[in-house]
Amino acid sequence: MDQKKKKQIVILGILIAAMLIVLAAVLIISSAVRNGRKKTAENIYCIAVTFGEDPKTQKNFSWYTETETTGSIVQYYPVTAEEAKKNEFDAAKAAQTEGFSETVDTYLPHEGEEYSASASLDPKSYMRHGAFVSGLTAGTRYIYRVGDGKNWSEPAVFETAPDETVNREKGFSFIIVSDVQGYIYSDYELWGNVFDQAYKKCPEAAFAVNLGDFVERQENALVWQYYFGIPDGFGDLTTVPVAGNKDDKMFLKYFLLGSKDGVTGLNGYYSFDYMNVHFTVVNTGDGSKDLSKAQLKWLKRDLESENSVSATFRIVLIHKAPYSDRNHADDPDITALREQLLPVFDEYNVDVVMEGHDHYYFRSEPVVENGTVKAEYTTATVNSRGENVSVFTLAENAGSAAGGVFYFMPGASGVKQHSKSFREMPEILTARSELMTNPVFCICDITADHIYFFTYAVDRYRLMSSAVECWGIQK
């Protein structure tokens, strides 16, 4: 064989090898896309950390695996800030809690249709795992991992609530997102960038509120894997989930609420206290139009409880917005919720109702008398987080502890933004209503004498954030 033919054979061999390497890479990437980008261990998906009934001493964990895995274990132990940064897990130090497992029947996009928003879906079963961890120490940082005793997730960190109340010098912060509502991988890449921007601006966040509609197609398990798997650092932050209309049937299959022996949260509505701030989480999917009689009874009982009455602030988290002026504002279910809930929020002195569902920015005037009258207030401007914050001080006799109820909708944190204008609604006392073109996130800072909200839009191309509005309530 002459040198020319030998050279041709060598070149051909190199080309074939290169093609095989590329093919293998494509298959690996395709598999990663199909199973979620950030599997923390082989076939461990959708790790969700939520509060138990007492955020100072309880934490709940939920995750998914293939059906062959039945063991459900959480291991954890206290760490310093420096130890947490190292992210190294020492099993010899760990306590552990064993949980439960159950089979969940769901769906995945048909092979080759993962990038299609209208993909055909094939049946797929997973094993869902859950564990209620109690007996934790208040105000403590823990490292943890979940698994079956042999296969484990990558370590992550959680913190328990401090055993103290907010004061003028010390409070807490949290992140607010809503309506991520993606169809495909690229939608959740955008969500990952939004979460990354939020966490960079607020690394001290105690938790993250999601006001609902985590996904567009709740039966598609792949998009849930994207939601949990794509954002960096998501496992380090406790989620306060609100049931949206797009995910209400699967909501309780991805988030574990309440406690092992309790019933709170079993219908998707619950409450908790963090440093003497009372949070009430409403499920607007629990009823044909407005809230079910059972939930309404629970809501009133919760808002008149000692924890609520003695709270520094009272905040309601809700998906369908009972008070807004665009898109869904005159839908029959929204009208019914408005008639049902506004008197309740007035009567029980709620300070802020945080809303989702409509994908735009909205802030009401502080309102009383079932949202029909603007409360009296004075305004000032303060500087916080490097932003000018418009601060409202309300008359003490105007209604709630802060002087009136604010209805606030930061907007959608995903790819889907509404563009529909709406008729004039004199019954809605709007301070600001703005259509958005980019996804948003919000940061909330709370001390004993104020709540500040900082809303930012994330440029979907340059991935930079800019302030939409910064406002707050001064007691």
CATH of region 44-157: 2.60.40.380
For the cut 70, the answer to whether the pLDDT of residue 25 exceeds it is: no
User: CA-to-CA distance for 252 and 244, rounded, in angstroms?
Assistant: 11
Per-residue pLDDT reduced to its tens digit, 261-314: 776 778 999 999 999 999 999 999 988 889 999 999 999 999 999 999 999 999
User: CA-to-CA distance for 423 and 161, rounded, in angstroms?
Assistant: 44
Task: Please give the pLDDT value at position 184.
Answer: 96
The CATH classification of domain 164-474, taken from the options 3.60.21.10, 3.40.50.300, 3.40.50.720, 1.20.1740.10: 3.60.21.10
Task: Please give the pLDDT value at position 1.
Answer: 55
Share of the chain above pLDDT 70, in %: 89
Average pLDDT, the chain: 90
Residues 6+ apart with CB under 8 A from 282: 242, 269, 291, 295, 299, 316, 317, 318, 319, 341
Residue 397 phi, psi dihedral angles, 5° rounding: -95, 15
Q: Which SS3 state, helix, strand or coil, does residue 365 take?
A: coil
Q: Report which residue type is found at 181.
A: Q
For the cut 80, the answer to whether the pLDDT of residue 202 exceeds it is: yes
What is the side-by-side order of every strand in the sheet holding 465-474?
Answer: 239-241, 208-210, 172-177, 440-446, 450-458, 465-474, 387-394, 377-384
Q: Report which residue type is found at 56.
A: K
Q: Give start-end residues of each CATH 2.60.40.380 domain in the chain.
A: 44-157
How is the chain split among helix, strand and coil, in percent rounded to 5?
A: 20, 30, 45
Q: Give start-end residues of each CATH 3.60.21.10 domain in the chain.
A: 164-474
pTM over the 0.75 mark:
yes
Least confident among 100-109, 175-184, 336-345, 398-407: 398-407
